[in-house]
Amino acid sequence: MYKLTIKPSALKEIKRLAERAKSRVKKAIERLMSEPRPRGVRKIVGGDDIYRLRVGDYRVIYHIDDAERKIRIIAIRKRDEVYR
């Protein structure tokens, strides 16, 4: 099981989501603790151990530290905003 931390700015982003999207994103983030690289996850080019998870129209950007078994959520944004 991986330990999960969420960057304060990402926590604010979660709070701003509509209820349905918020629920889906929270469930997806919780599942990362037991399976940090689920099917459909992509590694971000040029990022050291930084991945993106698609949750509907949103993307969860996170870092995995396998040595310490930690996941840090970096950002949650709409697809068209996250890569800017």
pLDDT values of the chain reduced to their tens digit, one per residue, 84 residues: 999 999 999 999 999 999 999 999 999 999 999 999 999 899 988 878 899 999 999 999 999 999 999 999 999 998 877 656
Rounded distance between C-alpha atoms, residue 55 and residue 78, angstroms: 9
pTM, full prediction: 0.89
DSSP tag of 18: -
Helix or strand run (H / E) with residue 63: strand 58-65
Distance from C-alpha of 60 to C-alpha of 74, rounded to nearest angstrom? 8
**CA dist 49 → 4, 22, 41, 67 (Å):** 15, 25, 12, 12
The pLDDT, as a whole number, for residue 84 is: 60
pLDDT value at position 8? 97
| CATH superfamily entry for domain 3-82 | RelE-like (3.30.2310.20)
